[in-house]
Structure formats: structure tokens, C-alpha cells
Amino acid sequence: MVTLIDTMDTLYLMGNYTEFFRNVERLRGMRFGVDQNVSVFETNIRVLGGLMGAHFLATETLTSPVPVNSIWDGEGNVRSGPSTDGDCCSIKGFCNGTSYVYDGVLVSLMEDLGTRILPAFDTDTGIPYGTVNLVSGVPKGETKIASLAGAGSLSIEMEALSRLTGDGIYGRVGRKSVKALWRRRNAETGLVGKHVDVGSGRWVETVSGVGSNSDSFYEYLLKYSLLFPEDEDFWIMFQDVWSSVEEHVKQGLWYGDVDMARGNKGGSRTRFESLASFVPGLQVLLGELPEASKSLNAFYAVRSKYNFLPERFDYEAWDVEGGGSDGAGQHPLRPEIYESAYLLGRALKAINGNDGGWLEPLEDAIRDIEKYTRTDCGYASIENVVTKKLKDDMPSYFLSETLKYLYLAFDDDNKIHEDGAGWIFTTEAHPIKWLPDLDKEAKEKAVKDDFHTKAQNRKMDELQKTEIAKAKKSIADKKQRLKKSRKKEKQIVAALGNGKDHIMNFLEEIYTDDEDVVVFKPNPDFRSDSESFDWNYRDSAGSFYVPTKSCPNLKHPKYKRLHAQGRMDYDRNFDPKKRVSEYCIDGTKASDLAKSGSSSSLGPSQQQQQQQQQQQNDGPQQTRFTMDGLGDFDVTSFVDGFLVEYVQTGEVIEISSVKSTYQGGIKEYIQVHASNRDEMTGHTQVKASVGDFDGNVFDCEVAVEGEAFPCSVASYGKTRIETMIEKGNVAAVGRIEVAVHGVLEGGCGDAGGGREGGDIKMVKRGQCTFEAKTLQQAPFKGLIIVNSEDNRFIMAESEDVNKLDPRRNSEKNPITVMVSSSDGEKLYSKLQAKAKAKESSGQSSNDILTGVITVVKQDNSKIFKRGSQAKKKKLGGKQSDTADLEYDEVVQFGDISAVGKEPPADMSKLRWPIVQTEKKAIQIMSRTRTWGLRMAKVEEDKYQLFVMKVGES
């Protein structure tokens, strides 16, 4: 019966009206008085939601196109199978000429069911139990632990039930539950946990994320605010909690799991769950189409690897989590990624007149489902996405959601896509429409019927008002930061030199300058020139994907590059493993960067042609240009600098400007990360360098038994650049402490002292400041901090440490460096493996686990000579640099185009990368010594990049 109810509206939307109305009649007279324990959440979204979706669609065709004799036979039984002719008026009350008439019978069923699940809400907090008996209420001994999604995803169906029946109690308890959960968010991060005690309101699982046990909580906050805007709290609550997710949970393109009290600062589980692929659809509802495209392209890259999304995927290891154990490799025919693709395709079609290519992956999905999961009796879930082994299970949501979204994506003329439709899909894909709010009398009656006393309700209302006021202030602060960011971006655009006129004209023609606040303020006044695109609430083509309450202006300059390059489209070659900045535009400091070399320069006119060409391609491409004699370069600008890849060799150089605190002020440094893949061995070598803007550059490295890992330094202590300039290079050599059977500690409460564990210690980032970790670990010789993210940065001094604390300048403090999360995991795993091997053989593991930390200054005196020292001579009638210098000698800073003899055959012996700095510029030599980069400061926080040949005057 559950499957019948859950899939009724699928029949309707696919045009099978006969079977749809037969099912309506099969339910006539039924009641839910069954002595059965049921999930409140599942009963709400599948059964109550299924009845509701069917009712709303049936009311669209009160007089249906279906003859009564197709519904009933001559004896009063609901027909099965193909329709046959008969006396259409033989059944009294079901004849209107020759057509069936829907009389709203499903509402009484909904009311019966809603009343039976009400007892679950009778708790001290208003947060419902997870299980209820349909006859006797909450089962004796029922657990008080409920999930965030289970307790927080009841509001839409319950509110709609109140508005259908006129009884306000259903909507009231649904709203109170959501608000009670939201009020218990963490005071520092604004995050919520995954499981809560419904009696005390205490979080019993403090993991925060957007996947399992959480997903539909966020979905319903937004969808409720769009469907029932009368309760403004829901919009405020959504803005507040989702901005916290973006700030503290999101990592690049991914949403991992974090601790709700610390967010990303406390580390993150690099887990992508298939349930989290609802997020791009949510971003579409917010109007954040470029963000939705980036997210969805990344998630589809995972799907493309296996033909299906696994339940859990490690986006760091780029594999099914745990090798597919514990159900991680299963695919139970989930719909979320198809829902997101459907919504994004529909939204793009409303704006641009085409779906952005998002029908292509949906076609692939249909073929894969048919190829791998079709059985004699239906479609089976997949036990393992790698082996494609099947599991004997077909969930009802496969029929109610998965097939529905796939079907609707290709049915432009479906009734649900009609103008002014105003539909919102529930989390189970049941379509619901807005209904008028209840009158004052009905609301007052609901208060009397509430499970809580008048005093308890008053206290809850006061708490809610207080928290809403706090949230509004927080949102206003974020709005101000966004305004400043936009003002700065406009200044950057205005300072683009020769390209300014072209760019500003482009913006004036295509973009308006309406305020753009992504999720913090609605923008209902925005209108597009396109008649088919209207942000008005319940007044647009399929308004379930164009809400009023969100609406950034998609034609704001912020989105100019994504529009110009078609980057909201599906990209089969999208690589989510590359740094996220390649797909980001927010805050770009040189968004239309000028690139030049000895024989290549991309001005605005060429760039415009390149963008036009990209629009014609199948999918978006990186910004690429060709340098004569060398080949292709991919160049990406991001917030603090540039990333350049030499396509022919795969060598990558990333250069960035970094600001860090020091003694109450701000110091500007540079960071360089260079990588090169050895085609023979497949090994990728990565190097890291840091420096200032006064000619001082240091290479940072951690080495263990022949394998080297790049690192970064701190802006305090022994690895502060100013200290190393004064005192020289630093190094720490000795045994690395390793917990043979344990995990990395935070290093925040340990007593230092060179214990038996060794001379160098590894700790993970989080729990306390970097400098506090350093002071805690004296007198270890070295301290390796493993970042929680897969990058490295210059660690700032702590504001929490007393500036006069004598320990700050102690020679006993360890040399402190940072390695990335992936390098740290690899390094620690290597150490543990070695330690276990020694331990199993009865030897001391500490005898062989030797590590070396080095931070060494580059000596480039024989490579880069200042202009005053440069030797010049005539070559071919023109002034040029000497051609008889030894290799690795470039005679003038800022001109790496002059290099002498051919490089040695064994390139591995060359130091790399070669980095030179001066007051307003940074220069880097590639590993092959055939090309290089120069990043010159145009003005504060603005840089220009030059890609230059080496060996040509």
C-alpha cells in the first residue's frame, strides 16, 4: 500500500490518468488504524506526502479526461488492466457525463494519518520521537534519540495538512519542531548536529554535515520559506544555518562532515555521500546557478567513474570509502543527483532557452539504469558499484522520485511545467502548491490544542524571537562583508588597463547593477529582459526552481565570466580534483588577467574571441593560450595569485601573495608550489617555497627515508622568515614520535620533553592555535603540523599567547612546519607501517624512524644578477644578453628570456623551482628552464602575470 500511495503522482505526471484515479478509488474508505509501529519521518514524506501530491494534482483536473467506466466495472469494483466499454453511469455518484469527477476523498485520509502521528510531538522540547504506533501512540520504551532530518523534515506536509483541513495543530507542531532544532545550533559556528535527545534537546551526535541524517532539514527550511512565506522565521533560519554550512562545512566543491563546535578548524572527514547531491538543486532554488553547476559537475564526476553514485565516496582518495566496505559501495537507486540535474536544466532553459547540456548526463543515467539494474520483475539496487552486483530491493522512492525526475527532464509540455504553476517538490518528490493561511480563530485553537502549556509556549516564543534577532544581525554583518567584496571587485575591473572599456561596455549591456546578496536578502525587484524568466513568486515557468526569497542577480558582474564561458553547462571533462579556484570567480583579483610572453600576448579582443569560441564548444575549457615554440599554457587566476600549467609536460606552478600577522601588524609574503609528473615513473614531485618581497626565498621540506614532502613555515618562532634572514637556515634531524596503534593527536594538552617517542613530533591541526602547539611541544627539535585540508599556508602567530611570554623566544622551541592533509596521512601511515614491522620483529621502532625538517634559503646569485651587474654585447646588430654564460645564469632580473647554453641531460640534478623576489615582483624559473613566470604588483592587492620564454632574446 505504501508503494501505491508513494507513486500515485508519478502515474499522473506520466499521463496514466486512468490508473491514477483507479488508485484514488482503491483508497476510498480506508483508514490507518493499524497496530503497527512506523517511522514518523518516512510515514510523513511517503504516505502523507504521497496522498497530498495526488490530491493537489487531482484537483487540477476535478473533471478528469478518464471515463467512469474505465475506473469501475459494472459491479462496483475498481478495474484492473486495460479499459473496456460499459455503462458509465451504473455507479451512483461517480458519473458526470462520461468523465470521472474527483471529490477530494484523499483529504480525509490525510487527516486520519496526520492525527495518528501527532502523539510523537508530545515532548518537552517539541522535537518529535522517531517512531509512533498508529493506534496507541509512542511505543513504550521508545528511544529519545531522533535524527536532524527525521525531526526537522515534517513541516511542509504538516503545514499543508493544516491549510487543507482548517485545523492548525498539524502545522503548529511541525513548525515548533524545526525551530526547536534550529535554536540549538552551536553558538560559535551556527552548525547543528545529526542526532538529538528529544527530551533534553541535547545533541548526542555532534557531527555536522549535509548528507545522511541531515539533508532534508536544510532542504525543508528553504522550501517551506518559498512555499509558505507568511512565517518569515523560516527564511531567517535558513539564511543563518546555510551560511554556516558554507563557511564551516564546505571544502572547495565538497561538503564533508565536521564537528559542529569547531567546523573545518577541527578537521573534516573527506566523505561525499550520495544523499548530499541534493545540494545543487537547493542552490538552483536559491538562484545560485553557477554554484549549482560547479557542485553538480563535481558530483557527476564521481558518478561517471562507476556509472552510479556510491553511498559514500572519499573525495581525497578518489575512491569508494573504505574500499566499499560497510555498504559504502551500494547504490540503492537514489534520485538526488538526477533531481539536481533536472532542476538546473529547467532553470537554464528558462533563462537561456537551452538546458545547458544537462540532459546528456540524464540520458546516460537512463541507459545505465536499464543496462545494469533491469530485472524480470523490476529494477534492483546495486550492492557494489564497482562490480555491479545487484541487491534484491527496489525502494518505492525509485518510482516516486528517480523515474519521475528523469521523465520530467525530457517532458517540456508536462502540466507541472505550465506558467504560473507554483509547485514545490517535497523531499520525496511529491508536488505541493501554496494554500491560503489559516484565520486567527483557527490559529488560536491550535495553541489551545498544543501539547505544551501556555507558559511553556510563551517561553519558547520568547526564545525564538531572541534567536531570530541575533540571526538577523549576523546576516546583516555578512551582507556588509559581501558589499565590500563587490565594491573591491568593481575597482579591480575598472583597473584592467586596455581592457577596461571593452569590459565595462560588456557589463553595461548584459549585466544590471542590482544588489547581489547570495543567500542573505531577497531581490524580488529584479527582472530579466527575457519574458520567459521572471523571479516573481508563483508567477513563473515552473516556479519550483525560481523562488522569490533567494535571488541573487544572475546578471550581476560577479557572474560575468561564468556566463561568458558557458560555465553553468554540463562538462563531461570537469575535474573536481583540481584546485577549486579554477572554477571560482568570487573575489578574483585579476579576473581578466593580462598574460604575455616573448611571442604571446592575450589582449581583450583576443580574449573575447576565445570566450566566444568556448561558448561554441561542447563544454567549458580552461583559459588557454599558445606560445610560439613552446606550446599551450593553461592559466587560472584566483584570489591571491595565479596557477599556470604547461600542457606539454604537465608541470604546474602556483604563485600567490600571502598576508600574515606578526607582532600586531600585517606582513606580506609569497608562496610558490611547483609540481612535475615523471612520465617514466608516474611519480609527481611537489616543491614548496616561501619568501618575502626583498629577495629572500626559502625551500621547506620534510624528508623521511628517501621520500620528501613539501611544507610551509610559520610567521613566528624559528621558521619566521625575518628570524631565518638574521640567523640562517634551520633544520631538525631525529626520530619521529609515532603512535604505532593510535592516531594523530592535537598537540594542545601534551607535555613536551623529548619523551621516548623521539625528537620530532607530528600533530594535527585544530583544538588550539599553531603557536600554542609550538610552545606546548618544547623541547622537541621539530614539530610537523598536519593540515585538515589538502594545502599548506604560512601559520600565523597567536593572539591568545601573551606577547611578553618569554617562551616565545626560547631556543628550546621546536622548528615548526606544516604539511598538507594528504601528505600528512601518507607520512604518518609510512611511519606506522615501519614501526609495526619493527615491533613485530621484537625490535625498537624508534631506531629507524628518522626524519629531517629543513628550511633552506635559495642562493640565486649565479642565476639572477641585478641589472647593474649584467653583461651586454651585440648579437646580430642588437643589444642582448651574453650567449656564452654557463647554464643557470640569467643576467637581469625581470628578463628571463636570456639564458645561455643547453641545460644538462640529467634534469633531476637541477634545483627547482628557482624563485627570485624584489619589491614589486616575483620571478620563477620552470624545471625545464625553457619558460618562466613573472608576477608583478600593479598596485595594492593587484597583480599582472607574464609567461615568458627562456633562451630567446
Is there a catalytic annotation at residue 336?
A: yes
From CA 233, how far away is CA 183, in angstroms rounded?
Answer: 11
Residue 232 annotated as catalytic: no
Distance CA 111, CA 181 (A): 25
Q: Kindly name the residue from 6, 215, 231, 273 that is annotated as catalytic.
A: 215
Q: At what angle do helices 169-183 and 454-494 cross, to 10 degrees?
A: 60
What whole-number distance in Å separates Cα of residue 1 and Cα of residue 134?
15
What does the block give as the cell for 62?
A: 476535478
Residue located via cell numbers 654585447: 873
809: how many CB neighbours lie within 10 A of its CB?
Answer: 11
At residue 453's C-alpha, the angle toward residues 452 and 458, to 5°, is 95
Question: Which one is catalytic: 336, 516, 645, 889?
Answer: 336
| 427 in a labelled binding site | yes
Beta strands 782-786 and 760-764, pairing class: parallel
| DSSP 8-state class, residue 760 | E
Q: Where are the alpha helices (DSSP H) in 90-168?
A: 105-117, 148-152, 155-165
Rounded to whole angstroms, how far apart are CA atoms 637 and 584? 9
Cβ pair 562, 591 in contact under 8 A: no
CB count, 10 Å around CB of 857? 15
Active-site residue, 462 included = no
> E-strand spans in 194-306?
195-197, 203-205, 207-208, 250-251, 254-255, 257-259, 263-269, 271-273
For residue 105, CA distances in Å to 102, 115, 214, 329, 929 come to: 8, 16, 34, 43, 79
Contact 405, 429 (CB under 8 A): yes
Q: Is 516 helix (H, G, I), strand (E, B) or coil?
A: coil
Cα separation, 637 vs 643, whole angstroms: 6
Q: Which of 257, 311, 314, 489 is catalytic?
A: 311
CA atoms of 649 and 628, how far apart (whole Å): 16
Cα distances (angstroms) measured from residue 14 to each of 408, 413, 619: 8, 11, 31
In degrees and rounded to multiples of 5, residue 121 shows phi and psi of -85, 0
C-alpha cell at 301: 564526476
The CA distance from 358 to 574, in Å, is 13
What are the CA-CA distances from residue 223 to residues 46, 47, 283, 284, 465 (Å)?
17, 19, 12, 12, 21
In the numeric block, which cell numbers belong to residue 390? 545487484
Q: Catalytic residue at 509?
A: no
Over the range 613-648, which residues count as b (16 or more CB within 10 Å of their CB) and which as e? ebeeeebbbbbebebeebeebbbbbbebbbbbbbee
Instruction: Please provide residue 377's backbone torsions phi and psi, each rounded to the nearest 5 degrees.
Output: -115, 15
Query: HEC states along 703-721?
Result: EECCEEEECECECCHHHCH
- Going by C-alpha positions, the residue among 357, 362, 394 that lies closest to residue 375 is 394
Q: Give the DSSP letter string of 175-221.
A: HHHHHHHHHTS-TTT----SEEETTT--EEE-EE-SSTTTHHHHHHH
243: number of CA atoms within 13 Å, CB side? 23
SS in 3 state form for 588-624?
CCCCCCCEECCCCEECHHHHHHHHHHHHHCCCCCCCE
Give binding residues for Ca(2+) as ranges. 427
Give binding residues as ranges. 427
Which residues form the catalytic set?
42, 215, 311, 336
